[in-house]
Amino acid sequence: MNKNLFKILVALVVGFAALAVSTSTSVSAEGELTFTVGVTQDIDSLNVTVGFLVIDYEIWNLTLPSLTSKAASDFSILPYMAESWTGSEDGLTWTYKLRSDMKWSDGEPMTADDVAYTITRSVADGWWNHTPVTGNLTATATDAETLVVTSSVPDPKLPILDVYIVPKHIYEKISAEELPNYLADDNVSGGPFQIVERKEGEFVRLVQNPNWFGKEPAIEQLIFRTFETAEAQYNAIKAGDLDAVDDVPVKIFTSLEAGDEPNIIGIAGNQGSFSYLAMNSSCPTGIGDGHVALKDPNVRRAINWSLDRQLMVDKVLNGFGKPAVSISASANPAFDYQVAADQTYSYDPARAKALLDEAGWKDTNGDGVRDKDGVELKLRYFDRSIGGASDTTPFITGFLKDVGIATDVKTFDEDSLGAIQAKSEFDLYTWGWSPYADPDNMLSNFTTAAVPTDPTVGGYNDGNWCNAEYDALYAKQKVELDPVKRADMIQQMHKIFANDGPYAVLYKYDNLQAFRSDRWQNFVRQPAEVGPIMFTQTSTGYLDLEPISGGSGGGGTNTIVVIGVALVVAGAVFTLVRSRRKKSADDRQ
Amino acid sequence: MSNRYVIKKIIGALLTLFAVVVFNFFLFRIVDRDPLSKYRGRSKLSLEQREAMIRRMGLSGSKWDQFVVYIKSTLRLDFGRSFDSTRPVLREIADRLPATLILVGISTALTIGIGLYIGAKAGWARGSRFDRVSTSGTMVLYATPEFFFGMLLLAIVAGRTGWFPTGGLRDIGANYGFVDSLLDRAHHLVLPSLTLTLGYLGSYSLIMRTSMLETLGEDYLTTARAKGLKESDVMTHHAVPNALLPSVSVIAISFGFVIGGAITTETVFSYPGLGLATADAIRNTDLPMLQALFLVASAAVIFLNLVADLTYGLLDPRIRHST
């Protein structure tokens, strides 16, 4: 009997505890206003010298300061660590006046010394996230609030200094040899938020940085939760476990747009991300084994003419994007290729066939595949296994087949395809780029210097393409301080790239994001009007978000369910107890 | 049970384990994967640094040298570093093991309890309405992949009603006391463990039903009835213990799979256990992780198979005497 009493007690305890949990989960224990974002990508590395994924940049944007910031509207310069700046007459030297009230989250002072250290060390150690900006710079801190930056050449990017500043007092303890394996888990922050907890593959949790000196966010706690599938992620925002979701699949987004979920708003933002088909152009200074046909610009042009880009935008993106014929040099659409529709590629298979004929590739043996000098025009076509990356493949291979080009499709994981690209051992492959605010970085990817020459090092010129005229223009725009002249040079580079280049750019795709509109308001896009809210150049969207008073909190446990579970448990225990008692009575019979 | 029987079984298990270790070495070296691809183009590594890192990974020298290094480090339980996270593989696995043990442990216990109960009852009352309904029900469960249940539960129970969390291990960032955090974890466990229970219920129930049917005509049941025992006692005390024997090895082996985790269920519910780690490692071609996960999973099955063999010997006198 005592034993039975114990069981009943257990049932009651479970029931009460269940009730307790139901009343305590609607807000976190500290009562912090939490914004939870669902992501399908896990952090690659928090180490700013190693990481490269979009999610890594989002965390750095929120935890590492930069000398200057960029306006959400047009990426123009804004104060950040620096309050003001003056340039020398020749434009080579800039003097920045820094705020005096800055501290890292651990209380150490944040000064001009941190900036000078970051610039100097990034050049010395060749930090790949930094050197595109800092490579030509030297910096000295004349005092805690004054920084002098000198460029060895005229630099149109200045006075914007768009790199993450690292805490000197942490990084100076780590040698160059140790740095690649440094996990950056000391969580020292100089941005609006600081990391307080991270479980790999699960979540990263940030709270407000107490020493933050900029605009105070309404969000007190920011959580990025990793999901394995986009469907699970979508169910989580529907259930109210999430406040926002990045990378919503096109089909789900379409149903959101149709108003299927009144509490969820979908935002399709464009910041220049584009997909392309790279064609191995076999630059003579490079390595690799690209198909001989692709060396001929006419064959590459023919491939460009053979594609129905609008069809792919309609079918693969459900319309959330737009066809493109050249790269996006910048997240700012002002730097896009400005060309009249009738002056560039459209869907014209006849023209593609004519170009191939002209280039000498004809179907001489009647097998439906063009050939020349005994070589078949059959191209190795590689794509990626990650979600959606191969959706364009059946379209593209179909278009190519229509004009007499055969393909042999293979799918790889990203790392393996990256390794193949580093050796330039492919004919065609599909991938995507997302540009920065300044066009220099994207444009640099197609210079001869970026052609892979050593497979262990690789190179960003993934079309294995070189063009002396493009290189010369790149070098000129890099040092052109007149923005109008620079923009004109960039347009000329676009023209060369589109006409002669190693890409068939397919389209610019939108970043599809979803938000709980019953809980949050003031969604500020970057760039203005066309861009997304999260995963932007500066990630300032989180600072603008405001809660809707009376909106239901996230992550709550439904009281009725908990009571139900408690009742079931109690019922089960009672049944067990009763059956035992009955049994012992039977035994006595 | 003779010592010879035990020793024979233990040696057999050790040999199998060794074969797995050797097989693992060659299996994961078929894949051509640059171990330093993570650093390609991102980190300026000198040739010396690259060579040092590759040597530390045990990937330098001839295949035979690598094999020796591999065997030595495996014996020390040093599985190297994950290509993906660059953390030691053993730490990755140790971090995720508890989550999987709890999830698959609970659902295996539930599956065994409920499955054997249904199977025994259905077999005992062969042809009854309970038998017809439960057998067709368990057949359906048996034939449906568990991730399908998972997706249904996720979309309907979690997504629509919000009664249960849509994934993960716990409420992130909540600062609960001990009891509350225990309940929070239990709350997160409900749907994944229900999914697994539904997914595996069928096979236990069907096995138990079959072996129950085999005992129905046995003489000892007639004897028991002749002694005047109640029908329910004949079933629980005489039929069930004998019918349980064939289930023992199935149960033991499935406990072995506990360690391997439930890849699809953990993926559907973003539940960070070993199953999810396996899925991630496959996606990222993270060979050291895969190698260790395969080894741990195989070792668990081999070990529990050994336990089953030994228990079987204890339970069944015929095995005890025939060796």
- Burial of B173: CB neighbours in 10 Å, binned 0-12, 13-18, 19+: buried
* Residue A570 or residue A349, greater confidence: A349
Q: What is the pLDDT of residue B322?
A: 52
Dist. CA A127–CA B219, nearest whole Å: 81
Partner residue opposite B158 with nearest CB, options A50, A239, A413: A239
Task: Note whether B173 contacts A457, CB cutoff 8 Å.
Answer: no
The one-letter code for the residue type at A343 is Q
The one-letter code for the residue type at A542 is Y
Q: Are A206 and A193 in contact (CB under 8 A)?
A: yes
Q: Which of B38, B153, B166, B286 is the best mutation test for A, with the most CBs of A within 10 A?
A: B166
Residue A337 pLDDT greater than 50, yes or no: yes
Q: With an 8 Å Cβ cutoff, is A185 touching chain B?
A: no
* Residue B283 or residue B319, greater confidence: B283
pLDDT bin (cut points 50, 70, 90) of residue B50 is low
* Percent of chain B at pLDDT exceeding 70: 87
Separation in Å, CA of A29 to nearest CA in chain B = 5
The model's pLDDT over A509-564, given as tens digits with 9 standing for 90+, comes to 999 999 999 999 999 998 888 999 999 988 999 999 999 976 544 444 445 555 56
DSSP string over A485-549: HHHHHHHHHHHHHHHH-SEEEEEEEPEEEEEETTTEE----SSTTTS-SSS-SS-THHHH-EEPT
* Closest to A410 in 3D by CA, of A423, A425, A432: A425
DSSP string over B49-62: HHHHHHHHTT--S-
Residue B184 pLDDT greater than 50, yes or no: yes
Task: Note whether B158 contacts A25, CB cutoff 8 Å.
Answer: no
How far are the Cα atoms of A49, A62, B78, B84, B230 from residue A183, in angstroms, in the given order?
Answer: 10, 17, 20, 12, 68
Q: With an 8 Å Cβ cutoff, is A261 touching chain B?
A: no
Task: Note whether A232 contacts B268, CB cutoff 8 Å.
Answer: yes
Helices (H), A25-102: 54-63
Task: Note whether A21 contacts B187, CB cutoff 8 Å.
Answer: yes
Show Cβ contacts of residue A310 under 8 Å, excluding neighbours closer than 6 positions.
Answer: A323, A347
Q: What is the pLDDT of residue B25?
A: 84
Q: Which of A13, A22, A25, A451 is the best mutation test for B, with the most CBs of B within 10 A?
A: A25
Q: What is the pLDDT of residue B179?
A: 83
Dist. CA A305–CA A239, nearest whole Å: 46
Task: Spell out the SS3 assignment of A125-173.
Answer: HCCCCCHHHHCCEEEEEEECCEEEEEECCCCCCCCCCCCCCCCHHHHCC
Q: What is the pLDDT of residue A30?
A: 54
Segment among A290-294, A340-344, B181-185 with least mean pLDDT: B181-185
- Burial track B119-157 (b if 16+ CB lie within 10 A, e otherwise): bbbbbbeeeeeebeebbeebeebeeeebbebbbebbbeb
Residue A17 pLDDT greater than 50, yes or no: no
Q: Are A183 and A176 in contact (CB under 8 A)?
A: no
Q: What is the pLDDT of residue A137?
A: 95
Q: With an 8 Å Cβ cutoff, is B30 touching chain A?
A: no
Instruction: Give all strands of the β-sheet with A274-279 in edge-to-edge order.
Output: A321-323, A503-509, A274-279, A428-433, A378-384, A406-412
* Closest to A66 in 3D by CA, of A105, A136, A141, A119: A119
The model's pLDDT over A183-230, given as tens digits with 9 standing for 90+, comes to 888 899 999 999 999 888 889 999 999 999 999 999 999 999 988 888
Partner residue opposite B272 with nearest CB, options A128, A202, A386: A202
Residue A301 pLDDT greater than 70, yes or no: yes
Helices (H), chain B: 3-27, 47-56, 63-75, 89-124, 129-143, 146-152, 178-215, 219-226, 231-233, 240-260, 263-268, 274-283, 287-315, 317-322
Q: With an 8 Å Cβ cutoff, is A177 touching chain B?
A: yes
Residue A353 pLDDT greater than 50, yes or no: yes
* Residue B145 or residue A345, greater confidence: A345
Dist. CA B239–CA A296, nearest whole Å: 81
- Burial of A281: CB neighbours in 10 Å, binned 0-12, 13-18, 19+: buried
Q: Give, as one character, the DSSP assignment of residue B128.
A: S
Separation in Å, CA of A250 to nearest CA in chain B = 18
What would the mean pLDDT of A456-460 be, rounded to a whole number?
80
Q: What is the CA radius of gyration of chain A?
A: 29
Q: Are A272 and A543 in contact (CB under 8 A)?
A: no
Q: With an 8 Å Cβ cutoff, is A202 touching chain B?
A: yes
Task: Note whether A227 contacts B45, CB cutoff 8 Å.
Answer: no
Q: Quick one: closest CA in A to B86, which residue?
A: A181
3 state SS of B248: helix
Task: Note whether B173 contacts A32, CB cutoff 8 Å.
Answer: yes
Separation in Å, CA of A275 to nearest CA in chain B = 21
Ramachandran assignment for B167, one of left (phi > 0), alpha (psi -120 to 50 degrees), beta (any other): left
The one-letter code for the residue type at A405 is I
* Residue A389 or residue A564, greater confidence: A389
Task: Note whether B158 contacts A221, CB cutoff 8 Å.
Answer: no
B 161-190 residues with CB < 8 A to A: 161-169, 171-176, 179-180, 182-184, 187, 190
Task: Note whether B172 contacts A223, CB cutoff 8 Å.
Answer: yes
What would the mean pLDDT of B91-106 be, rounded to a whole number?
87
Q: What is the pLDDT of residue A59?
A: 95
Number of Cβ within 10 Å of residue A488's Cβ equals 14
B 120-139 residues with CB < 8 A to A: none
What would the mean pLDDT of B288-311 be, rounded to a whole number?
86
The model's pLDDT over A406-426, given as tens digits with 9 standing for 90+, comes to 999 999 877 778 888 889 999
Q: What is the pLDDT of residue A569?
A: 62
3 state SS of A98: strand
Residue B43 pLDDT greater than 70, yes or no: no
Separation in Å, CA of A297 to nearest CA in chain B = 28
Q: With an 8 Å Cβ cutoff, is B323 touching chain A?
A: no
Residue A6 pLDDT greater than 60, yes or no: no
Task: Note whether A50 contacts B39, CB cutoff 8 Å.
Answer: yes
A406-412 vs A378-384, strand pairing mode: parallel
Segment among A437-446, A473-482, B96-105, B252-261 with least mean pLDDT: B252-261
Q: What is the pLDDT of residue A457?
A: 75
For B95, the token pair is: 């971090």
Q: Give, as one character, the DSSP assignment of residue A29.
A: T
A 229-248 residues with CB < 8 A to B: 229, 231-232, 234-236, 238-241
pLDDT bin (cut points 50, 70, 90) of residue A319 is very high
* Chain A contact set for B38 (CB, 8 A): 50, 415
- Which pTM does this prediction carry? 0.80
Partner residue opposite A201 with nearest CB, options B154, B269, B272: B272
Separation in Å, CA of B257 to nearest CA in chain A = 22
Task: Note whether A558 contacts B172, CB cutoff 8 Å.
Answer: no
Q: Quick one: closest CA in A to B38, which residue?
A: A415
Q: With an 8 Å Cβ cutoff, is A40 touching chain B?
A: no
Q: Are A143 and A95 in contact (CB under 8 A)?
A: no
3 state SS of A124: helix
Segment among A303-312, A357-366, B40-49, B242-251 with least mean pLDDT: B40-49
3 state SS of B138: helix
* Residue A228 or residue A242, greater confidence: A242
Q: What is the pLDDT of residue B46?
A: 58
Quick one: CA dihedral A58, A64, A70, A75, positive or negative? Answer: negative
* Residue A505 or residue B44, greater confidence: A505
Q: What is the pLDDT of residue A368?
A: 92
* Chain A contact set for B43 (CB, 8 A): 49-50, 128, 179-180
* Residue A337 or residue B322, greater confidence: A337
Q: Are A324 and A316 in contact (CB under 8 A)?
A: no
Partner residue opposite A240 with nearest CB, options B85, B162, B279: B162
Task: Note whether A229 contacts B159, CB cutoff 8 Å.
Answer: no
Residue A15 pLDDT greater than 70, yes or no: no
Dist. CA A284–CA A370, nearest whole Å: 25
pLDDT bin (cut points 50, 70, 90) of residue A231 is confident
B 272-311 residues with CB < 8 A to A: 272, 276-277, 279-280, 283-285
Separation in Å, CA of B291 to nearest CA in chain A = 18
Q: What is the pLDDT of residue A416?
A: 79
Partner residue opposite A25 with nearest CB, options B87, B167, B171: B171
The model's pLDDT over B218-248, given as tens digits with 9 standing for 90+, comes to 888 888 888 888 888 888 888 888 888 777 7
Residue at token pair 């708003």: A265
Task: Note whether A20 contacts B180, CB cutoff 8 Å.
Answer: yes
Residue A142 pLDDT greater than 90, yes or no: yes
* Chain B contact set for A221 (CB, 8 A): 173
Separation in Å, CA of A523 to nearest CA in chain B = 24
Task: Note whether B154 contacts A235, CB cutoff 8 Å.
Answer: yes
Dist. CA A45–CA B87, nearest whole Å: 11
Beta-bridge partner residues of A321: A509
> What is the rounded average pLDDT for all residues in chain A?
87
Q: Are A242 and A34 in contact (CB under 8 A)?
A: no
A221-226 vs A34-39, strand pairing mode: parallel
* Residue A583 or residue A326, greater confidence: A326
- Burial of A291: CB neighbours in 10 Å, binned 0-12, 13-18, 19+: buried
Q: Are A277 and A430 in contact (CB under 8 A)?
A: yes
Dist. CA A143–CA A147, nearest whole Å: 7
- Crossing angle of helices B89-124 and B129-143, in 10° steps, is 150
Q: With an 8 Å Cβ cutoff, is B159 touching chain A?
A: yes
Partner residue opposite B272 with nearest CB, options A32, A199, A457: A199
* Percent of chain A at pLDDT exceeding 70: 88
A 549-578 residues with CB < 8 A to B: 555-558, 560-562, 565
Residue A10 pLDDT greater than 60, yes or no: no
Beta strands in A287-390 (DSSP E): 321-323, 371-372, 375-376, 378-384
Q: Quick one: closest CA in A to B283, which residue?
A: A413
A 478-537 residues with CB < 8 A to B: none
Number of Cβ within 10 Å of residue A176's Cβ equals 16
Q: What is the pLDDT of residue B6?
A: 84
Number of Cβ within 10 Å of residue B189's Cβ equals 21
Highest mean pLDDT out of A54-68, A177-191, B180-194: A54-68
* Closest to A145 in 3D by CA, of A103, A96, A108, A107: A96
- Crossing angle of helices B274-283 and B287-315, in 10° steps, is 140
A 10-39 residues with CB < 8 A to B: 17-18, 20-21, 24-25, 28-30, 32, 34, 36
Q: Are A567 and A11 in contact (CB under 8 A)?
A: no
Dist. CA A234–CA A258, nearest whole Å: 16
From the centroid of its chain, how far is CA B74?
A: 22
* Chain A contact set for B284 (CB, 8 A): 413, 415
Q: Quick one: closest CA in B to A235, which residue?
A: B159
Q: With an 8 Å Cβ cutoff, is A472 touching chain B?
A: no
Side-chain-facing half-sphere of B266: CA atoms under 13 Å: 27
> What is the rounded average pLDDT for all residues in chain B?
82
